[in-house]
Chain A
Amino acid sequence: MEIIISNSSGKPIYEQITDQIKGHILSGKLQAGDTLPSMRALAQDLKISVITTKRAYNDLEEEGFITTVARKGCFVSATEPSLLRENNLKTAEEHLQKAVDLAKQSGISLEEVQDIVKILYEGE
């Protein structure tokens, strides 16, 4: 499982971890039932505090992405794909909300915003 941490990204490290693991799960790199490294092993590998990895894993568990079995380890949950989609939809909506707020503040029209979204979506 590949995790790259950036000290300069401004995002808290535990969030970077949760985002990347979620990304792996969504892209299929991590399948339901796969084992994740233990919190300590991950902390050792990334050279960060075990409290950080613990927080990341706790968050992931709360959101239903992973499950911890006592004495066995952490596993990727067998979640419905629709649940994941719903989660991401929510996050996308939050991001768009921020863009909309900023647009309104700066007097940018709805049409302008829609144009930008279209370009970005089709551009890739």
Chain B
Amino acid sequence: MEYAVKATGVCKDYGSFSLKSVDLEIPKGFVTGLIGSNGAGKSTIMKCLTGAVIKDSGTVEFDDGLELKEIGLVFDECPFPQYMKCEQLDGIFTRMFDGWDGEKYFAHLQQFGIDRKKKVKDLSRGMSMKLQVAVAFSHPTKLLILDEPTAGMDPASRDEFLDSLREYMQDEEHAILISSHITTDLEKIADYVSFMKNGQILVSSGKDELEESYGLLKTGGECPIDKELVICSRRSESNTVYLINDKAGVREAYPELVVDDATLEDIMVMFARGDY
């Protein structure tokens, strides 16, 4: 497997929060999703990859021939000059990126319904994300790093955006790293997912593999299976839910127990709120 970017043992200490030896691999030809609640460290590790945040230790390796200017970026807040009109940004980027395609940029603006005469600060949240996407798609890139790109987008726009990502991935030299807590988006687009919590990667796996092996065991009373198999649990008045990662095994061994499939959202919430 070839990797667009490989981060190994990345640490960053902010005092109240820190990244603890994060390993993150972005394979070429695939979409890697990063799931975690706000404050889990997703934005931080993404910025460590590009050098915007200076890591304390660890390595970040880029694929041979991948340069920073070939990375398309979408940040959680639009970083473009706020008082400039969207059409004026073309002037900046044509000087900043080799191969900037102004025509493509304006075509994307139109497609996304962004008024080119509007100032960046006057765009809604969803529109400003789409603006960043328009920019990212208007110069030749090999990697997209997207931080919560669909936040603020209505469902139809999200669908359109995911379609454009699929189109981007038709080239198997391309790669995408996308972080989101809208797990349904990742369910639709991700090939691999990594869960983050408190600056650590909890689990990294193929998305299908994860959905096939993780399950929710629902039962009242005491834990009916070997505690080793349980990752975490949540107790309520009427029952306890256990997150397990060998769904098939437990179902076969205990056919009488209720073992539900776990969606990415279920897994994320259990990781975030469960008791270990």
Contact = CB atoms under 8 A, between A and B. Distances in A.
B169 A44 contact: yes
Interface string B103-133: 0000000000000000000000000000000
Nearest to B29: A50
Contacts of A43: 166
A50 B30 contact: yes
A79 interface: no
B174 to A, nearest CB: 10
Contacts of A95: none
B191 A47 contact: no
A49 B169 CA distance: 11
B175 to A, nearest CB: 12
B12 interface: no
B208 A41 contact: no
Interface of A: 12-14, 40-41, 43-44, 47, 49-52, 55
Nearest to A41: B170
A79 B100 CA distance: 50
Nearest to B168: A44
A51 B188 contact: no
A13 B208 CA distance: 9
A82 B148 CA distance: 53
B170 A49 contact: no
Contact of A50 (B162, B169, B188): B169
Nearest to A13: B208
B170 A44 contact: yes
A86 to B, nearest CB: 29
Given A47-B188, A51-B191, A12 B212 contact: yes
B191 A49 contact: yes
A39 to B, nearest CB: 9
Nearest to B162: A47
B256 interface: no
Contact of A51 (B30, B162, B170): B30
B276 to A, nearest CB: 29
A12 B248 CA distance: 13
Given A12-B212, A40-B172, A49 B166 contact: no
Contacts of B206: 49, 51
A50 B191 contact: yes
B162 to A, nearest CB: 8
Contacts of A49: 31, 190-191, 206-208
Contact of B170 (A12, A13, A40, A52): A40
B112 to A, nearest CB: 20
